Amino acid sequence: MARKFFVGGNFKMNGTKESIKSIIENLNKASLDPNVEVVIAPPALYLQLARDTVDKASGVEVAAQNVYHKPNGAYTGEISVAQLKDSDIHWTILGHSERRTLLGETDELVASKTKAAVEGGVSVIWCCGESLEEREAGNTVAVVERQLAALAAKLSAADWKKIVIAYEPIWAIGTGKVATVQQAQEVHEAIRKWLRTQFGDAVADETRILYGGSVNGKNCKDLAKEKDIDGFLVGGASLKPEFVDIINSNQ
């Protein structure tokens, strides 16, 4: 079964009511490839605005940039899975390198959040990736497999149906650097091999693996041609008109 191409837009801590409405209205008007699943992730403050502005006929979905692993309680600043669903938000990003490195989220915490989201009915764009030092030491695959192993310890084979993996080399995020097409494909292939070993052919063949390192309108078409690259998690370019070109890059 062919994997449906997937493009996520992570707005990070960017945007205003006016700019986010403008981005979404541009998507509403654009001719988007109907064979691509599109999910945008504005800051939490603007999730409801985004949900209300997206034209449901466009098929674009809205994601949170984070969610907590407890159902409710004294967790100041956090958002629960149930609250996302109550707001008609059915996706979240988890494990992004900025939360791992800047906010100290461990592999185990990210895995716990992912388990809570999946069990609560929210799909996850789950992120993994290595630092420049880890890549230069030849440890890229080992680092990614360590992150995957922590996640796998919390999940069943059936849970993977609600997970999209985003491989994002930390050294290529927001730096203007980008992995070569070959470098990206090699890691995607290694991730799929790991899934096949741990969970079998069905999970390996059906799980989508996105590339998430400085994707833009110039490099997206070449990356999209690779057999194990099933789409993109886009950062800064998702705030620009070229986001439409990235969505349509698999045509």
Catalytically active residues, by annotation: 96, 168
**Inter-residue contact 99 to 66 (CB < 8 Å):** yes
**Inter-residue contact 172 to 213 (CB < 8 Å):** yes
**Inter-residue contact 232 to 246 (CB < 8 Å):** yes
**CA-CA distances (angstroms) from residue 159 to 95, 187, 193?**
17, 22, 18
**Inter-residue contact 165 to 207 (CB < 8 Å):** yes
CA gap 54, 44 in Å, rounded: 16
**Inter-residue contact 110 to 165 (CB < 8 Å):** no
The CA-based dihedral angle spanning residues 2, 122, 17, 95, taken in that order and rounded to the nearest 10 degrees: -80
Nearest to 96 by CA among 173, 4, 162: 173
Beta strand 163-167 pairing with 123-128? parallel
